[in-house]
Amino acid sequence: MLSYGTKVVAGVSPGKGGSQVHGVPVYDTVEEALKEHEVDASIVFVPARFAVNAAYEAVDSGIRLVVVVTEHIPVVDVARVVKYARERGTRVIGPNCPGVIVPEETLIGIMPTRAFRRGKIGIVSRSGTLTYEVAEILKEYGQSTVIGIGGDPIVGTTMQEVVEMFDRDPETEKIVVIGEIGGTMEEQVAKMKKEGKIKKEIVAYIAGSTAPREKRMGHAGAVVYMGMGTYESKVSAFKETGIKIAKTPYEIKDLI
């Protein structure tokens, strides 16, 4: 993040206060860090057992954006911290996500920066590695902002919310949605488009077309509910609203 130009002003690791990493001062608590620095965002690289406490600490300190990279956080704990953060005006990205990048400006996350270039396409994705793959494919067009929301059943910021933000963003001309089987966020995006709430063109790709039925897949969010959340239901919802659907990641470029 530092080498990309992100202004990392402080690190927090209990018991390591007073030290420095790559020239960045480390503090024992977020509260101590905020006494010395102005902070807009926090990124949590903390093991699952302690990640929620790190997120609570950031929220309680008044930080307005918290990106949680950690995976394997219990769903109940995620639900509680997301509700807590929303009530206090903090946006959570993740957990189990690669973070956020504004190409050639700032990176808050673990994305490989070589895949990104400044441009006009907004990308929102439930998959980390597919995010980088699609960004690389669309590199000649470039991206305005790229957000990996995470692959867990409950996430701090939904696909619908990100699509709405891209629709309002003057830097974004077209939106790419990278979904996957499980959950209903993609169907909700299709509904918003159908109701005219989203004006900009959307191109979508859904991962999981070959996933065997009734078999548990890798991502925790890959759960099907009452016929909703299947590959077929998502594709059908998109087709009804005229959203273009790529059969492979490489087709996204052609549809754009």
CATH of domain 11-93: 3.40.50.720
Q: Which of 48, 41, 46, 47 is nearest to 67 (CA)?
A: 41
Mean pLDDT of all residues in the chain? 93
Q: For 187-221, how does the pLDDT look when each residue is reduced to its tens digit (9 = 90+)?
A: 999 999 999 999 999 999 999 777 666 665 556 55
Q: And the tokens for 124? A: 């929102």
pLDDT grade for 231, boundaries at 50, 70 and 90 = confident
Residue 241: closest CA among 152, 163, 156, 165: 163
Residues 61/35, Cβ–Cβ less than 8 Å: no
Which are the catalytic amino acids? 219
pLDDT for 218 equals: 58
Q: Which two tokens stand for residue 180?
A: 């996957």
Residue-wise pLDDT for 27-47, tens only, equals: 999 999 999 999 999 999 999
11-93 and 99-255: identical CATH topology: yes
Distance between first and last Cα of the chain: 29
Comparing CA positions, the residue from 140, 156, 29 lying closest to residue 90 is 156
The residue extents of the domains of the chain are 11-93, 99-255
Q: What is the pTM of this model?
A: 0.94
**What CATH number belongs to 99-255?**
3.40.50.261
